[in-house]
């Protein structure tokens, strides 16, 4: 999937600073981009998804939480895919476009992109035990609310909260940034790479703290550069950037490009990022060309030191007429298994959750597609209750290793 079709029309003093006709251009162009590229996120079950691996140890606890972009809810499952009902009810507290989420301080924080509304994005807080709405960490009416937020993590110096704000407010190609907040929701600043050093478009989508303490941020190209007044970028491109905390200015500064579609040929429109316990980085990637018979939607495994491609999981079949399957985000869970929710428009796969062995690359469907009776209409971001809010690592390494030995 691609950028939200909404555009902010925040009723504040900032409104006077914006170009009125630019807002209408942005709204229409983002909507066009969504429609034009939505066909890229449908699919069918791949041969890998049909492979059966030894099941993970059974769990009766509903510890896996998945944001459903289809009905704007957060749903709960156990590690084997058993559905436990809605955790955050559809539309609770105005939830419209659930994106990144973390468990922290007895709360579930959920990024609300406010899709198809005139409002900026926000960060909502729900009770971690009951799913009851507590309040807004960041409100859409705040002066420094994110415009089009996606991923969220919490960690680093001061245990701050970082939100990837995908788009600027002046044009479809306006660069986004990463916004930083404290635990009370106060805005601490934002950062992005120096455009004189990093000359590509910066549209941050996913982010995670690495084992090296650096902040890794996935970024896609410009979604729509048709008007001649905007720079033309490759919408299918992608980068994974690294930021290092600068003690002098008390915020992160751009370090380097860890990987890109130039160094990794399959890296297109990356979003979800997560490290495994061996230190390798896993990232979601879409097809570059939906009509290319040799291209597929994928999950890529990159060497944690060099960024080189070391493995991949194909999510759909490499034929030009086959339905599509794509993932926005991923997470590691019990037994070191990788959990992948499938979104898109193909009834054969949309709403699936696949559990994959990262070493064999074999997967099994643990939550069926929505058309087959599954609970998810369109699963996007997901989080285990035990996931670390900074690294997204599941539980303790020792616990993971013990469960690995059982598989």
Domain boundaries, the chain: 13-406
Instruction: Quote the CA–CA distance of 8 and 394 in Å, as a whole number.
Output: 35
- CATH 2.120.10.30, domain 13-406, yes or no: yes
Retrieve residue 221's tokens.
């190209």
Instruction: Give the phi and the psi of residue 238 in degrees, each rounded to 5.
Output: -170, 150
3-state secondary structure of 113: coil
Q: What is the pLDDT, as a whole number, of residue 321?
A: 65
CA-to-CA dists, residue 174 to 28, 152, 231, 236, angstroms: 15, 21, 9, 16
Confidence of residue 323 (pLDDT cuts 50, 70, 90): confident
Q: What is the pLDDT, as a whole number, of residue 320?
A: 61
The candidate with the shortest Cα–Cα distance to 26, out of 10, 7, 9, is 7
How do beta strands 273-275 and 281-285 pair? antiparallel
Sequence-distant (≥ 6) Cβ neighbours of residue 346 within 8 angstroms = 42, 43, 44, 323, 324, 325
Q: What is the pLDDT, as a whole number, of residue 61?
A: 83
Whether 216 shows a pLDDT value over 70: the answer reads yes
Whether 43 shows a pLDDT value over 80: the answer reads no
How do beta strands 107-112 and 122-127 pair? antiparallel
Q: What is the pLDDT, as a whole number, of residue 316?
A: 86
Interval 370-382 mean pLDDT: 96
Inter-residue contact 208 to 227 (CB < 8 Å): no
The candidate with the shortest Cα–Cα distance to 395, out of 55, 64, 58, 161, is 64
Confidence of residue 289 (pLDDT cuts 50, 70, 90): confident
Quick one: 1 exposed, middle or buried, by C-beta within 10 A (0-12, 13-18, 19+)? buried
Instruction: Quote the CA–CA distance of 174 and 222 in Å, as a whole number.
Output: 8
Instruction: Quote the CA–CA distance of 403 and 226 in Å, as a whole number.
Output: 51
Whether 134 shows a pLDDT value over 50: the answer reads yes
Under DSSP, the state recorded for 278 is T
Indicate the helix (H) or strand (E) that contains 353: strand 353-356
Residues 265-279: tens digit of each pLDDT: 889 999 999 999 999
Residues 62-72: tens digit of each pLDDT: 999 999 999 99
The candidate with the shortest Cα–Cα distance to 185, out of 228, 236, 141, is 141
Q: What is the pLDDT, as a whole number, of residue 251?
A: 85
Inter-residue contact 109 to 125 (CB < 8 Å): yes
Q: What is the pLDDT, as a whole number, of residue 317?
A: 77
Instruction: Quote the CA–CA distance of 150 and 200 in Å, as a whole number.
Output: 19
Residues 143-153: tens digit of each pLDDT: 999 999 999 99
In sequence order, what DSSP letters do the residues of 245-273 get, joined into one string? Answer: EETTTTEEEEEEEEEETTTSTT--S---E
Q: What is the pLDDT, as a whole number, of residue 23?
A: 35
Sequence-distant (≥ 6) Cβ neighbours of residue 347 within 8 angstroms = 369, 370, 371
Instruction: Quote the CA–CA distance of 210 and 214 in Å, as a whole number.
Output: 6
Apex CA 277: angle with CA 271 and CA 280, to 5°? 50
Q: What is the pLDDT, as a whole number, of residue 111?
A: 98
Residues 17-31: tens digit of each pLDDT: 333 333 333 433 333
Residues 92-109: tens digit of each pLDDT: 999 999 999 999 999 999
Inter-residue contact 86 to 72 (CB < 8 Å): no
Quick one: how far is CA 369 from the chain centroid? 20
Q: Where are the beta strands (DSSP E) in 57-202?
A: 64-68, 73-77, 83-88, 98-104, 107-112, 122-127, 133-138, 149-155, 160-165, 177-181, 187-191
| pTM as predicted | 0.84
Interval 315-324 mean pLDDT: 73
Interval 362-389 mean pLDDT: 97
Instruction: Quote the CA–CA distance of 322 and 320 in Å, as a whole number.
Output: 6
Neighbours of 261 (CB within 10 A): 21
Interval 82-99 mean pLDDT: 97
The average confidence (pLDDT) of the chain is 82
Neighbours of 15 (CB within 10 A): 12
Task: List helix spans (H) across 232-339.
Answer: none
Instruction: Quote the CA–CA distance of 298 and 282 in Å, as a whole number.
Output: 10
SS3 content of the chain, % helix, strand, coil (to 5): 15, 35, 50
Whether 5 shows a pLDDT value over 90: the answer reads no
Confidence of residue 324 (pLDDT cuts 50, 70, 90): confident
Whether 325 shows a pLDDT value over 60: the answer reads yes
């Amino acid at each position: 999937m691609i950028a939200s079709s909404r555009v902010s029309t925040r009723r504040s003093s900032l409104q006077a600073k914006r170009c009125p006709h630019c807002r209408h251009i942005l709204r229409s162009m983002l909507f066009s981009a969504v429609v034009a590229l939505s066909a890229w996120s449908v699919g069918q079950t791949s041969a890998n998804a049909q492979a059966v691996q030894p099941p993970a140890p059974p769990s009766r606890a509903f510890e896996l939480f998945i944001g459903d972009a289809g009905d704007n809810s957060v749903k709960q499952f156990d590690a084997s895919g058993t559905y436990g009902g809605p955790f955050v009810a559809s539309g609770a507290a105005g939830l419209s476009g659930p994106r990144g989420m973390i468990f922290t301080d007895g709360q579930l924080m959920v990024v609300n992109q406010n899709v198809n509304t005139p409002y900026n994005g926000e960060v909502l807080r729900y009770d971690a035990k009951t799913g009851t709405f507590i309040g807004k960490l960041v409100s859409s009416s705040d002066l420094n609310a994110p415009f089009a937020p996606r991923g969220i993590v919490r960690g680093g110096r001061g245990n701050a909260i970082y939100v990837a704000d995908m788009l600027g407010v002046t044009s479809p190609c306006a660069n986004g940034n990463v916004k930083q907040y404290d635990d009370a929701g106060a805005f601490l600043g934002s950062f992005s790479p120096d455009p004189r050093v990093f000359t590509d478009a910066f549209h941050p989508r996913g982010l995670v703290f690495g084992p090296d303490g650096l902040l890794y941020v996935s970024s896609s190209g410009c979604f729509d550069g048709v008007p001649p007044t905007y720079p033309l970028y490759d919408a299918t491109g992608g980068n994974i950037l690294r930021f290092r905390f600068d003690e002098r200015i008390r915020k992160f500064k751009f370090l380097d490009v860890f990987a890109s579609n130039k160094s990794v040929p399959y890296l297109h429109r990356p979003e979800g990022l997560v490290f495994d316990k061996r230190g390798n980085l896993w990232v979601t990637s879409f097809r570059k060309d939906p009509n290319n018979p040799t291209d597929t939607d994928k999950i890529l495994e990159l060497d944690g030191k060099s960024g080189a491609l070391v493995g991949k999981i194909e999510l759909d079949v490499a034929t030009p007429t086959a339905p599509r399957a794509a993932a926005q985000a991923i997470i590691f869970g019990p037994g070191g298994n990788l959990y992948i929710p499938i979104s898109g428009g193909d009834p054969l796969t949309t709403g699936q959750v696949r559990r994959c062995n990262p070493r064999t690359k074999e997967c099994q469907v643990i939550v069926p597609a929505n058309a087959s009776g599954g609970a998810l209409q369109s699963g996007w971001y997901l989080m285990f209750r035990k996931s670390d809010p900074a690294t997204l690592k599941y539980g303790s390494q020792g616990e993971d290793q013990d469960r690995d030995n059982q598989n």
